[in-house]
Amino acid sequence: MEFSSKLLERAVNEMSQLPGIGKRTALRLVLHLLRQPKEQTTALSQALQNMRSTIKFCEFCHNISDFNLCEICANPNRNETIICVVEDVKDVMAIENTSSFKGLYHVLGGKISPMDGIGPHDLNIETLVKKVKQGVVKELIFALSSTMEGDTTNFYIYKQIQDYNVITSTIARGISVGDELEYADEITLGRSIVNRIPFETSLKL
């Protein structure tokens, strides 16, 4: 791609560093900014800069926060004996949106993935094991993606804490609400039969 301006070229190059944004999309976005008032570009740049330079991670659960302790960990009404282990900040937001969980979270910051060069020591696993060792936590809920990397991470953490007095569970795997049975994959369908729940229980959900 030949650019008529070095400034434009640099902006497009930086924009296309973002995941899923190619050169063409980057050019479209940058040209859009050029058509908008200058203030919009200033606001975007400053918001990104401010966020990147001053955002904090919660000391307790590693969730993104403006303070040393995130709102969830600082809330005295949350149940500190149950910890939901998630991969990412996005997962905290997704679970919070369901309003079905009143415990605390622990954000690992990724999954063990040797292919991507991510080992257990690149994740926030040590602090989780430390929390379990302190004895306040009664249950750990593994809420990672149901992939090989997710299962590996679950198992690694399980091995570290199995000698301590803590219940471990994983979120239920099964047919999504609204899904047609015939399109479900075999493993999901098989597991959903093995892990069937009493009909009376399902009525209460």
Positions in the binding site for a second copy (CB under 8 A)? 1-8, 10-11, 13-15, 17-21, 25, 27-34, 38, 40-55, 58, 63-66, 70-72, 88-90, 92-93, 96-97
Phi, psi of 82 (to 5 degrees): -115, 130
Least distance in angstroms from the C-beta of 183 to a second copy: 23
Least distance in angstroms from the C-beta of 123 to a second copy: 12
Q: Which is nearer to a second copy, 77 or 162 (CB)?
A: 77
> Is the Cβ–Cβ distance between 118 and 112 less than 8 Å?
yes
Q: Which is nearer to a second copy, 88 or 139 (CB)?
A: 88
Least distance in angstroms from the C-beta of 24 to a second copy: 9
Determine which helix (DSSP H) or strand (DSSP E) holds 105, and give its type and residue range.
Answer: strand 103-107
- The residue with tokens 């198992």 is 155
Least distance in angstroms from the C-beta of 194 to a second copy: 33
What is the per-residue DSSP string for 39-80?
HHHHHHHHHHHHHHHH-EE-TTT--EESSSS-HHHH-TTSEE
Q: Give CA–CA dist 78/63, Å, rounded.
A: 15
Q: Which is nearer to a second copy, 118 or 175 (CB)?
A: 118
Q: Which is nearer to a second copy, 1 or 167 (CB)?
A: 1
